[in-house]
Chain A
Amino acid sequence: MLDALWERRALLVSGKGGVGKTTFAAALARAAVASGRRVLLAEVEVSPEDSESPSPLASLVGVRSPSARVSEVSPGLSYVRLSAIEGQRLFLQEVLPVRLMADAALRTRALRRFLEAAPALREMGVLFQMLALVRRTRPDGGPLYPLTVLDLPATGHALALAALPDALLSVMPGGPIGRSVREGLELLRNPTLTGALLVTLPEPLPVSETLELATAIGRHRIPLAAGVLNRLPEKPFPPEGRAAVERLLGTHGPHQGQRALARLDRAQAAEVRLASNLPAPLLTLPELPEHGRELVERLATHLTGAPS
């Protein structure tokens, strides 16, 4: 299943806040590199005002100063923090007749403020920078970054990103924006090139929301590559053991371990429900004691070692 993922050009990692998108994106990129791919690991800046804000993704792969310029992290793995302003600059350079004009325009306070105040234009800039990177080629004509793994912001914003192209096309079907949006959609909607991976936790609500999210991105015709059920607790019960304990607890009252037990039950129910309702394959990742980079390494190993 992973091999099929590696054949695409862009993998979009999305999901609710805190479910492990960033950790998974980093592990996925590592796993792809381990399978011999050249990977660009990308994330979206928080907002243009604070380019200083901490970037969990950058620190997970050991990038000290995250920026909108691609930096090579290790052989085969590069990192970039997509920035609206950078994307807008590239866009202006492409559409304006004179290159100098783009720089002059961006030095104009009025235009800069316009670009940052209009929400759609910010997201547009991000999208455009990503497209520009995907399109970059090497001297031999092959793509410079054959595979981009994008760590998207939490659901609300990710959906807004997904809805943006249609919204933009509805008001400006023509012109340079329309053209590049259409080009973006060709990439985004092509299931051989793009796939979304929806990360979620083994809890009832996150699962419901993931199923809703799957429907929503389906509406925007973005292909779903897989669901990712993260932090699945290990299952300590021998067959019959769970029911036996239930009887004992029924007779002798609650004991410590109760909260963990309830959590485990929820997790198992969630896994069953997700696997049977998601219109895509499901990857599962274990809950591990590690943090940060060690966690990423272990999850990457788990991914590459997992039966495909």
Chain B
Amino acid sequence: MSLQSLLREKRVLVLCGAGGVGKTTTAAALGVAAARAGRKVLVLTIDPARRLAEAMGLTEGGTEPTPIPPERLYAGTEVGPGRLDVWMLEPRIVFERMVRRLSPTPEAARDILDNRLYRFLSDLVAGMQEYAAAEALDGFLEEGHYELVVLDTPPSRHALDFLEAPGRLARFLDDRIVSLFLPEEKGRGGRLWRKTSQLLGSVLGSIFGESFTQEMRAFMGAFSGLFSGIRERAERLRGRLSAEDAAFLLVTSPESASLQEVGYFRDMLHERRLPFAGYVLNRSWAREDGLAHPEALLRHAEDEAQRGGVEALIHLARHEQVRADAHRGLLSLLAENLPTGAVAVAAPESGSELEDFGGLVRLGEALATS
């Protein structure tokens, strides 16, 4: 299988990878390529670099996905049937929507949203972006408006943090556990339950102080009505991500491509029965550029400065060669023992090209055809 057929056939493409390797850029470029190939695509980006947001014409704080005008999407070719929307994930908006949807009444929703603990929780970026991304993905898939959702994942040290966060939440939201944190009257259960609840009460009281603990329990009480909804969605999302039509790609840069970590990622996906679809080696010099060697310039050099300059360029060309060879070696290592259907592709270093939309188009094409 090629990356092209992934773009044509899958419904969800998740881009994972260590911080700064190019997940967001790759997500955008692949979204562009898939849309130009005729599909209705949504790219869910997280915190895109400013110039990428500008290249795509995104505005911050948008509550709806931004459609890329077809003239821009198809610049240089005839306008086709594919469409591309891009949405910059806004955890606040996602949560607010979730609370409104899952609350029994608008008043109940407001109680939660106005609570200062709620604001404290949604303000903390760590972890929350992960929950929000999962939640947003689920929402868009449920809606069924898009044929392909390309999901960027938050910058994290660990490629799979994104997958762990919802699970952590869901495990915590186990009714038996949550009930222990609820205000007394809402609780139930027998002697063991009461003993545990008491222990927790005194532990929390000593950690947080009595009044904060009361406040937290009250908040949990208000929030608890939503838990079964949240849990259901976490499970549904899990199902969707492990389905045949989902695919996980690991983005890596030649610099940070530690094969050990790359293998670890694959094992982790396997363990969780998530569909591993391959690697993108981003910013690589693996591709031959077919240029002449700078030795050829020596005979044109007329003075000391030019000769010195050409010598230096020859030196650089040698370094470039070493680097390009290393990248090729890396790519073929990544391509070894791939499961059927998985790919190992190289994305070129695009330099300053990514400043406009055309750069994304070219990057997408380079990926799809590599």
Contact = CB atoms under 8 A, between A and B. Distances in A.
A272 to B, nearest CB: 17
Nearest to B315: A236
Contacts of B308: 237-238, 240-241, 244
Given A111-B200, A177-B208, A260-B323, A119 B20 contact: no
A278 interface: no
Interface stretch (B6-14, B139-147, B163-171, B331-339): B163-171
- If over half of B's interface residues share one DSSP class (helix, strand or loop), that class is named, otherwise mixed; here it is helix
Given A46-B157, A177-B207, A244-B306, A18 B18 contact: yes
Given A110-B181, A117-B171, A258-B289, A248 B207 contact: no
A213 interface: no
A308 B121 CA distance: 45
Contact of A245 (B154, B176, B285, B313): B313
A245 B297 CA distance: 9
B364 to A, nearest CB: 20
B321 interface: yes
A139 B174 CA distance: 47
Contacts, number: 228
A45 to B, nearest CB: 10
Count class of interface residues, chain B: 35 or more
B157 A259 contact: no
A9 interface: no
Given A116-B168, A237-B312, A260 B209 contact: no
Contact of A171 (B120, B125, B176): B120
Interface stretch (B53-61, B66-74, B256-264): B256-264
B309 interface: yes
Contacts of B121: 120
A119 B177 contact: no
A257 to B, nearest CB: 3
Interface string B287-316: 001011110110011010110111111111
Contact of A96 (B20, B117, B206, B323): B206
B26 interface: no
A255 B319 CA distance: 14
Contact of B294 (A167, A238, A257): A257
10 contacts: A50-B268, A53-B264, A96-B206, A105-B200, A160-B124, A167-B120, A238-B309, A245-B312, A248-B300, A257-B314
Interface of A: 16-19, 46-47, 49-50, 53-54, 56, 91-92, 95-97, 101, 104-105, 108-111, 113-114, 116-117, 119-120, 122-123, 153-157, 159-161, 163-164, 167, 170-172, 174-177, 205-206, 233, 236-245, 247-249, 251-252, 254-262, 264
